[in-house]
């Protein structure tokens, strides 16, 4: 019998095929939030290089991708996109109607996933971002033809351990990559520039970077908790002839808005291009 068959189902068993940073981040979030027990998680990878991180969390590990599917009904594929088709072909013989399969590989469409798996397999696609590592991810998920609202709810509930997760049409996934996947780098660039402005004015570097990061964090929390449009919050900080309007004028002169919109557009177009390949 497969590994999961001899023990009573005390809870959900979650499998990971691929054990890189994103897989580890998701596993860590699920375990920390008490969504699954560490011993109910089984991860596979070709070498021990990344599996040691899973063992440190208390998870089971293996070098066999098929074993993961034989032991777990919910399996998250977190391999590199170019490796995924070969991995799916390899596990296809052990996929059953019980399985719910989730891909976090960028640029691999639901139709490609469904083509490589047995007919009627329940497949969902998730686009995560790096802050999943600190349980503050912004994720979107899209479901294939055979995944119903029950599977979507189950996955959404699990992934909320790693941040915010919203169900969207698949067409939004590439936009999410441009906005939130690449957006992490855009926000880092802005944070760095904010700090450098303070350094230019005489503040020590380490202090300036700490304050810039905290300013981003605090502003994001305000936007989320107040549920306000950013323009409203921005107006609240503005006083006539005050410091902020002088700074905002300089940002407008530098074309910050147009540059940011172009950055999201460029990253989205590139994501679409990679998806087509």
Residues belonging to the binding site for NADPH are: 65
Residue 216 burial (C-beta neighbours within 10 Å; 0-12, 13-18, 19+)? middle
Q: Give the orientation angle of helix 256-276 with respect to helix 183-200, to 10 degrees.
A: 150
Residues at the annotated binding site? 65, 78-81
Close Cβ partners of 52 (under 8 Å, ≥ 6 residues apart): none
Close Cβ partners of 123 (under 8 Å, ≥ 6 residues apart): 101, 102, 103, 110, 113, 114, 117, 143, 144, 146, 147
Give the position of tokens 């005050």. Answer: 242
Characterize the bridge pairing of strands 14-17 and 41-44.
parallel
Buried (b) or exposed (e) across 134-165, using 16+ Cβ within 10 A?
A: eeebbbbbbbbebbeeebbeebbebbbbbbeb
The residues pairing with 165 across neighbouring beta strands, listed in sequence order, are 139
DSSP-derived letter for residue 254 is T
Residues at the annotated binding site for NADP(+)? 78-81
DSSP-derived letter for residue 35 is S
SS3 percent helix, strand, coil of the chain, rounded to 5, is 60, 15, 25
């Amino acid at each position: 019998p497969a590994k999961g068959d001899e023990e009573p189902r005390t809870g959900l068993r979650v499998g990971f095929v691929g054990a890189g940073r994103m897989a580890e981040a998701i596993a860590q979030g699920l375990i920390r939030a008490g969504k699954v027990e560490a011993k109910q998680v089984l991860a596979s990878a070709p070498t021990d290089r990344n599996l040691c991180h899973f063992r440190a969390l208390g998870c089971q590990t293996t070098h066999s991708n098929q074993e993961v599917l034989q032991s777990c009904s919910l399996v998250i594929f977190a391999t590199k996109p170019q490796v995924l088709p070969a991995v799916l072909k390899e596990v296809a013989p052990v996929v059953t109607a019980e399985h719910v399969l989730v891909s976090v590989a960028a640029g691999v469409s639901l139709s490609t996933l469904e083509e490589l798996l047995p007919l009627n397999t329940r497949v969902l696609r998730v686009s995560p971002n790096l802050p999943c590592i600190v349980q503050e991810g912004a994720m979107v998920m899209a479901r294939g033809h055979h995944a119903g609202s029950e599977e979507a709810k189950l996955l959404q509930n699990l992934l909320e351990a790693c941040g915010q997760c919203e169900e969207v049409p698949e067409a939004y996934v590439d936009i999410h990559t441009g906005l939130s996947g690449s957006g992490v780098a855009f926000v880092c660039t802005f944070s760095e520039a904010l700090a450098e402005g303070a350094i230019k004015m005489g503040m020590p570097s380490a202090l300036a970077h700490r304050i810039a990061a905290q300013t981003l964090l605090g502003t994001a929390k305000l936007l989320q908790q107040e549920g306000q449009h950013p323009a409203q919050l921005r107006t609240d900080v503005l006083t006539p002839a005050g410091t902020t309007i002088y700074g905002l004028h300089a940002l407008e002169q530098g074309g910050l808005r147009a540059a940011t919109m172009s950055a999201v557009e460029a990253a989205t177009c590139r994501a679409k291009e990679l998806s087509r390949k």
